[in-house]
Structure 1
Amino acid sequence: MHYRSDDAQLFYTEQGAGAPLVLLHPTPLHHGFWLPMVSMLAARYRVVMPDLRGHGQSEAGDGPVTMEKLGADVERLLDELRIERAMFAGCSVGGYTLYELWRRCPQRVQALAFCSSKPQADTEQNRATRQANIEKIRQRGSSDFIEAMLASLIGPSTRSRLPQKTAEAREMMQAMRPEAIIAVQQGLASRPDSVETAKRIKAPCCVVAAGEDGGSTPADMRLLADAIRSGGAKVEYHEVPDAGHYAPWEQPETVGRMLRQFFESAR
């Protein structure tokens, strides 16, 4: 299904029935990231899985894909589906989008699950790395970038134990156009620090860290959990030891059980 948000036509799919649950994937993948666990959740919930702006079957629109645009897109999707209030899970950029969604419309948030979504903004070094990647993509296309992402975002345990996962992720990444990858990298580099936002969250939260994640480390995710807790919200923290940045996709049964139990408790 498609819907319009500002300057882009965006895609979403849904499964199941019940209380609405929106799942936001990481970059540079698409909604297929959630499919290995969706049956666990769709048995109890109406699971909505959009392709974020620039990913999968969704257009990027003009200019950088900022967190503000992504948050507005999700709010527009709720309007399109006539969902007043929902539960949400996001991984990486999907989680960064949830910070923005809380800033925009906290009244529409029933519960939040953050997977590998550190609250801090990019460091200067990270911004420089993103800019270097953008220049390489402009000069040589996205193939080298994709291979680097596969090596850094999928945990070594998964790459060793389940080598087919790398091939599956590569196929999803190759669906993203180079210009869209650039637009998302620009948006990630400019994303705001969300530590103070985390302290203002009042909805129940689940924080999932991965032991082999070098991007949003367990220390980063504990910082997030502590920030949420300091504001008085209920938060639970989990750590998946043998997984990387894509933990929900690398270990869908383990993380799926965590999320299902959390959302049951948050209803």
Structure 2
Amino acid sequence: MNVKYKGANIHFTSAGEGNPIILLHGFMESSKIWGNFIPTLSEQRQVVCIDLPGHGESGSFNEIHSMEDMAKAVKEVLRHLEIRNAAIAGHSMGGYVCLELYKIFPTLLTSLVLVNSTPEADSRERKINRERAVKLVQKNKKAFVKMAISNLMMPENSERFRSGIQDLIAEAMKMEVQEITAAIRGMKIRTDNVQAFARMNLPKYIVAGKDDSVLAFDRLRDVANSTGAELLEFSGGHLSYIEDEKALLKLLHFIE
């Protein structure tokens, strides 16, 4: 199914009924990452999975896909489905979008799960690395995709979950260069949402991989402590939905 946002098709799926939960993927991923979660979750609730702008089967509309624009695209899907309140979980970049959604539509969310994600803005060093990433994508998309995705999982899990990594790479390779760089630039300019996250008066969780190579576990623990969020320590790296699938499914099954 699709809705329109700024002239682009925004693709989504919906399964089950009642007590909705919205699942958002991360950078260079798609709603397909939640495929193993849908059958179990949809037995007891509505599960909505959305391809964010420029990802999966959703179209692109700008040279920069800001987190605010992505959040508004998500809201268009929820408006179409007549969902007024929902739990929401977002992996990595999807978590950034969740936070923007809360800022723009504060009464929409009933609970929030940041999966391998943070309310903090990019550091100066990270912003410089984003610009380097843009140049690398423009020079050699294939090399960038393989390197970026392969580095997300802890080494000892890379062989164990090889098929999952290959699926992610194949999905990312479908993206146009402009779609990848639009997301990178959108993440680079996102605002710091630590204070907004701290003020959230609703159940909020941070899922942190003990060996996450992208977001340091110790830093996420400090953010959770300072914002009143519940920290869930998982054993893997940045891809908890693959490396710790059962534990994450259990969490998403019980949040309201």
Partner of 1:238: 232
Task: Report the TM-score, using the length of structure 1 for normalisation.
Answer: 0.91
Partner of 1:201: 200
| Structure 1 Cα separation of the partners of residues 23 and 31 of structure 2 | 8
Unaligned regions of 5+ residues in structure 2, if any? none
Deviation at 1:8, TM superposition (A): 1.9
Q: How does 1:215-234 map to 2 (within 5 A)?
A: 215-229=214-228
Deviation at 1:219, TM superposition (A): 2.0
Deviations 1:208-247 (A, max 9, x none): 1001212122223223322331xxxxx4321111x22111
Secondary structure of residue in 2 paired with 1:10: strand
Partner of 1:255: 248
Q: How does 1:20-31 map to 2 (within 5 A)?
A: 20-31=20-31
| Structure 2 Cα separation of the partners of residues 184 and 105 of structure 1 | 22
Deviation at 1:194, TM superposition (A): 1.2
Partner of 2:15: 15
- Which deviates more from structure 2 when the two are superposed, residues 62-71 or residues 35-44? 35-44
| Structure 2 Cα separation of the partners of residues 254 and 46 of structure 1 | 20
Deviations 1:132-177 (A, max 9, x none): 121122223x101111112221232320322222212111211222
Deviations 1:156-213 (A, max 9, x none): 2320322222212111211222110010001111111111111111111122100121
Partner of 2:77: 77
Partner of 1:172: 171
Deviation at 1:258, TM superposition (A): 2.1
Task: Report the TM-score, using the length of structure 2 for normalisation.
Answer: 0.95
| Structure 2 Cα separation of the partners of residues 44 and 16 of structure 1 | 7
| Structure 1 Cα separation of the partners of residues 139 and 238 of structure 2 | 27
> What root-mean-square deviation, in Å, do the aligned CA atoms of Structure 1 and Structure 2 show?
1.4
| Structure 1 Cα separation of the partners of residues 18 and 159 of structure 2 | 38
Partner of 1:232: none
Q: Is the 8 A contact 1:113 1:205 kept in 2?
A: yes
Q: Is the 8 A contact 1:198 1:224 kept in 2?
A: no
Percent identity over the alignment is 25
Deviation at 1:79, TM superposition (A): 0.8
| Structure 2 Cα separation of the partners of residues 166 and 73 of structure 1 | 27
Secondary structure of residue in 2 paired with 1:161: coil
Q: How does 1:1-267 map to 2 (within 5 A)?
A: 1-140=1-140, 142-229=141-228, 235-241=229-235, 243-261=236-254, 263=255, 267=256
| Structure 2 Cα separation of the partners of residues 110 and 157 of structure 1 | 36
Unaligned regions of 5+ residues in structure 1, if any? 230-234
Q: Is the 8 A contact 1:119 1:220 kept in 2?
A: no
Deviations 1:45-87 (A, max 9, x none): 1000000011011112112011110111112211111111111
